[in-house]
Structure 1
Amino acid sequence: MWPWEHVFFAYVLFSLYVHGRHRRRPTDPAVVALAVGAVLPDLIDKPLAWQFGLFETGYAVAHSVFVVVPVLFGVALLARRRGSETLTVAFTVGYLLHLVGDVLPASLSGRTLDLSPVLWPISNRLPIDAGGTFAESTGTLLVRYLTQLLTLDLTLVVGLQLGSILFGTALWLLDGLPGLAVFTAPIQRLRKV
């Protein structure tokens, strides 16, 4: 999944949960925390693999349930002591749904449960042959993805990705664009000065 797909995939499930449990839309800070959690594994592992060569693949330490679960548990304990549980829950949900969002496409494309994206170092996911630096690898993969879309090569994986974007965008709009105000409010204040 691409970063925006991870964010929308997490947003759909988080928003439905918040609506169902609390009968309201998600708050601005919670959506920002969710989005950060939803992209953080790739912001850590992809550059470490593609730019610095520390790992064979972009699914390593930040994707590993052996590392992530204890770290998130520790973060939750600290948050509980400080009384900031709401944002921690949103961040944790985003992070864990990122991992689910990586397992789903791997499993759909192989038509069997594939946990390799989240089992580093026990199971290494096959490296993606994108070649080059972080920017070159990202560009190569983006061109492949856009080619799939433009040639209407709509696999189950692409369907999941597009569904996340479309349904996530619609739900985000219906919810009133939560999270956006965190970024636009400072700009609005500057305009008033």
Structure 2
Amino acid sequence: MALAVASLVPDLVDKPLSWGLGWFPSGYAIGHSAFVAIPVGLGVLLFGSRLDRLWVSVAFVVGYWTHLLGDVLNPIRYGNSILVGRVLWPVSAAEPYEIDRGLGRGLAYLEDFVAELVTMPITDVVLLYLLLPAATIALWIFDGAPGVTLLSRAVGTVRSRLR
């Protein structure tokens, strides 16, 4: 659960601040910055070890840092060079968007993704978008579905307080 949530943290921070509030000229800023991610990751590891939850904190750091690595390496898929500057905010700010679409940028990216998905070989689609998530879910279930009990307790607490 920590890995899954942490892998979204950079986008959950930067995209709303850029697309929704216009605070940054692109979706790569404070949440994607190695200058923020490294101390945050080290702090999470320290905090997790003190609470005897080291594996949860390691999962968080792996999720957060691999998101940044993926953003740096992603251009290779299209035959371009890696973009180390994406994780060096504020020293190296990402190029601003040519067109400000606000929150509609997310819909534009979804449209681009679906168009790319349609043109991909079916084996790639099955492997990347069906088998990999299915294997991940199977591993999560095999591991005892961590997080379900916590979520169930939280829902029960909210329900009891609302009554």
Shared fold, TM over 0.5: yes
Matched, 1:181 2:148: yes
One-letter amino acid matched to 1:39: L
Report the Cα distance in structure 2 between the residues aligned to 1:96 and 1:187, rounded to whole angstroms.
28
Report the Cα distance in structure 2 between the residues aligned to 1:175 and 1:44, rounded to whole angstroms.
28
Report the Cα distance in structure 2 between the residues aligned to 1:162 and 1:100, rounded to whole angstroms.
24
Equivalent residue number for residue 71 of structure 1: 40
Q: How many residues align?
A: 152
Q: How does 1:1-193 map to 2 (within 5 A)?
A: 32-129=1-98, 131-134=100-103, 136-150=104-118, 152=119, 154=120, 164-175=128-139, 177=141, 178-179=145-146, 181-182=148-149, 185=152
Report the Cα distance in structure 1 between the residues aligned to 2:148 and 2:78, rounded to whole angstroms.
37
Structure 1: segments with no counterpart, 5+ residues? 1-31
Structure 2: segments with no counterpart, 5+ residues? 157-163
One-letter amino acid matched to 2:29: A
Report the Cα distance in structure 1 between the residues aligned to 2:132 and 2:38, rounded to whole angstroms.
26
Report the Cα distance in structure 2 between the residues aligned to 1:85 and 1:142, rounded to whole angstroms.
36
Answer whether contact 1:61 1:67 (CA < 8 A) is retained: yes
For 1:175, what is the secondary structure of its paired residue?
A: helix
Give the Å deviation of 1:72. Answer: 1.2
Equivalent residue number for residue 15 of structure 1: none
Report the Cα distance in structure 1 between the residues aligned to 2:126 and 2:23, rounded to whole angstroms.
31
One-letter amino acid matched to 1:141: Y
TM-score by length of 1: 0.66
State the superposition RMSD in angstroms: 2.9
Answer whether contact 1:40 1:95 (CA < 8 A) is retained: yes
Report the Cα distance in structure 1 between the residues aligned to 2:34 and 2:127, rounded to whole angstroms.
26
Answer whether contact 1:103 1:114 (CA < 8 A) is retained: yes
Report the Cα distance in structure 1 between the residues aligned to 2:151 and 2:50, rounded to whole angstroms.
31
Give the Å deviation of 1:139. Answer: 0.9
Answer whether contact 2:3 2:64 (CA < 8 A) is retained: yes
Equivalent residue number for residue 161 of structure 2: none
Report the Cα distance in structure 1 between the residues aligned to 2:84 and 2:68, rounded to whole angstroms.
9
Answer whether contact 2:74 2:82 (CA < 8 A) is retained: no
Matched residues, percent identical?
33
Structure 1 residues 50 and 149, CA gap change in structure 2 (3 angstroms): same
TM-score by length of 2: 0.77
